[in-house]
Amino acid sequence: MNTTSPHSPDAPRRPRIVVVGAGFAGLAFCHSFPKDRAEITLVDRQNHHLFQPLLYQLATAGLSDADIAQPVRAILANRRDITVLLEEAKSVDLAQKTLQLSSERLSFDYLVLALGGVTNYFGHPEWEEHAPGLKSLEDANRIRSNVLLAFEQAENHGPTQAEPGLLNLVVIGGGATGVEMAGSLVELSRNVLRKDFRRIDPSQARITLLEGGPRLLPVMDPALSEYTRKTLVEMGVEVRLNATVKSISHHRVETNQGTLQAANIIWAAGVKANPLLAQLGIPTDPQGRVEVLPNLSLPGHP
């Protein structure tokens, strides 16, 4: 009978597993991996797990931070075999099996990359300044602050003296995030804020949804796409299909269908893989994704 404790000096060294990313995939791995079978280190640049599907409700004042974010350490409180580090992964050396963080380097036997995606501005990173994406608490709070501030500024100046476009909101991207965002902005302006102001009518806010393709929700069934379009139009959203963005500047969006002035421009037009994958030395597709084997490992790195 083997009575050696896994923590005793004579016990065989447990494999070192480093997990990068405390999103759904990273936490699912940590929860499913048997206890005390490995030395697991979970690395994330945020100390909370974020339920991203509800970010649009935070951005439109329907929820608060605590409703969609939970501390990672609290989630893993019963897993004493997992160390959580508030760090940012900078680079990976697959040959040496090391991960460079902001302030230290970790060695690993196995590396789990669960990084998630980043906002894709399709070669125009300068657009981010004027059209924030929706991938983090910071993004959502920035959008909420800007949207509510626009209503306050319009109230200060009155309906006749307000800056043109102050109550115009443009959402770029007709996927799930863009559709949810546009609908939630209608709810905010038509219902939530309806009685809060005296000099302006929030329901007069103009909400425009731009989609570069021929239909909304392009990955869904066409019938659902058309139903969604009709519903948004009935709610008061101006839906523009086949609308490609040419440029974005301060309170201004130029498209192939004309120019829009809007104090709030929100980017929901797509995501791409985390840039960390690009320096692995493995071929990637145009979205920065790497090819994996059926077991999700990298070719040549089982």
> Known catalytic residues?
180
d(CA 68, CA 137): 9
Distance of CA 25 to the CA centre of its chain: 14
d(CA 279, CA 298): 14
Distance of CA 48 to the CA centre of its chain: 14
DSSP H helical segments within 69-105, as ranges? 72-75
* Tokens 């209503």 sit on residue: 151
d(CA 262, CA 249): 10
DSSP H/E element including 99: strand 98-101
Rg of the chain over Cα atoms, rounded to whole angstroms, equals: 23
Distance of CA 66 to the CA centre of its chain: 17
d(CA 206, CA 170): 8
d(CA 97, CA 90): 14
Closest-CA residue to 33 (of 117, 116, 110, 115): 110
DSSP H/E element including 100: strand 98-101
* Residues 131, 266 contacting (CB under 8 angstroms): yes
Phi-psi region of 41 (alpha: psi -120 to 50; beta: other; left: phi over 0): beta
